[in-house]
């Protein structure tokens, strides 16, 4: 069931989304050579607590992993696609990219967003991967309009990414968001003809999150049961925003 949120609910989701934005902006400013992913984790948890919120990811259970996720952040470096686990041993190096994904629960409503940040100067091919992934998200956001269909979003990401020579990760998808972290509908970054293609209506809130590999799309999950990596070891980028469908077009809840 796809839930349509009232204006009061959208305002609450907006506050959650802006908190996540503020956290990610702070973490982005911290990313540098020698910083550990655990340093980012500690800073994020402090900000969430200070805001009177709860982490959305810490304690989150999935049947596939068979265990609860132990951190407030997912910090996925280079070939790690999503769900990379913070560690004091993982020092960022010049030329790395790190995807930082986090979520909060504030006053009963969830916020969720992700960015991928270069560590110092990266080569031109990596810059292009980040640029194309971010562009695909912005182009998808523009399709979040009442009367459009879900496949308009999915197809927009797929077309932009593949036409630029990159590949779409197919095993992981975006999602609705509200009083649960993951709600209907699922939002693949490609057109899945087997899936539902609902018409977009005001009040729907979508977490759109392109996950793009520089090489082939195939992934595998490491022995920690969480971290997904590209099978061929190619770099992977990930950006995410929460977007509400309104009568006046898309409203990005997770940025000012």
Give the separation between CA 204 and CA 153, rounded to whole angstroms: 14
Q: Backbone dihedral region of 208: left (phi > 0), alpha (psi from -120 to 50 degrees) or beta?
A: beta
- Averaged over 54-62, what is the pLDDT? 97
Tokens 């996720």 belong to residue: 69
Give a yes or no: residue 56 inside a domain.
Answer: yes
pLDDT at 235: 98
pLDDT reported for residue 104 = 98
Going by the DSSP 8-state scheme, the letter that residue 199 receives in this structure is B
Full residue range of the structural domain in which residue 221 is found = 7-252
Average of per-residue pLDDT values in the chain: 98
pLDDT tens, position by position, 146-165: 999 999 999 999 999 999 99
Q: How many domains does the chain have?
A: 1
Residue 147 resides in a domain: yes
Residue 26 CA to residue 31 CA, distance in Å, equals: 9
CATH number of the domain that residue 186 is part of = 3.90.230.10
The fraction of the chain above a pLDDT of 70, given in percent, is 100
In a domain, 50, yes or no: yes
In-domain check, residue 1 = no
pLDDT tens-place string over residues 101-139: 999 999 999 999 999 999 999 999 999 999 999 999 999
Residue 2 in any domain: the answer is no
Sign of CA dihedral 166, 171, 172, 174: positive
What is the per-residue pLDDT across 63-111, written as a single tens digit (0 to 9) for each?
A: 999 999 999 999 999 999 999 999 999 999 999 999 999 999 999 999 9
pLDDT at residue 96, as a whole number:
98
Looking at residue 3, its pLDDT comes to 97
């Amino acid at each position: 069931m796809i839930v349509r949120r009232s204006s009061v609910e959208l305002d609450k989701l907006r506050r959650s989304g802006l908190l996540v934005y503020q956290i990610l902006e702070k973490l982005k400013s911290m990313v540098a050579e020698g910083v550990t992913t655990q340093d980012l984790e500690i800073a994020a948890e402090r900000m969430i607590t200070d805001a009177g919120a709860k982490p959305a990811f810490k304690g989150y259970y999935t049947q596939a992993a068979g265990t609860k996720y132990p951190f407030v952040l997912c910090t996925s470096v280079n070939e790690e696609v999503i769900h990379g686990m913070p560690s004091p041993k993982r020092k960022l190096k010049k030329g790395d990219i790190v995807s930082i994904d986090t979520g909060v629960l504030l006053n009963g409503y969830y916020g969720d967003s992700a960015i991928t940040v270069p560590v110092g100067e990266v080569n031109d091919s990596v810059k292009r991967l980040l640029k194309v992934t971010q562009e695909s998200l912005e182009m998808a956001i523009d399709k979040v309009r009442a009367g459009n269909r879900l496949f308009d979003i999915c197809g927009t990401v797929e077309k932009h990414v593949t036409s630029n020579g990159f590949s779409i990760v197919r095993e992981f998808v975006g999602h609705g968001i509200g009083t649960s972290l993951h709600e209907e509908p699922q939002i693949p970054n490609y057109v899945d003809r087997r899936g539902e293609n609902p018409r977009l209506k005001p009040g729907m809130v979508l977490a759109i999150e392109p996950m793009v590999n520089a090489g082939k799309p195939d992934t595998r999950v490491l022995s920690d049961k969480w971290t997904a990596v590209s099978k061929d070891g190619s770099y992977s980028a990930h950006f995410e925003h929460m977007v509400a469908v309104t009568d006046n077009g898309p409203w990005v809840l997770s940025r000012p």
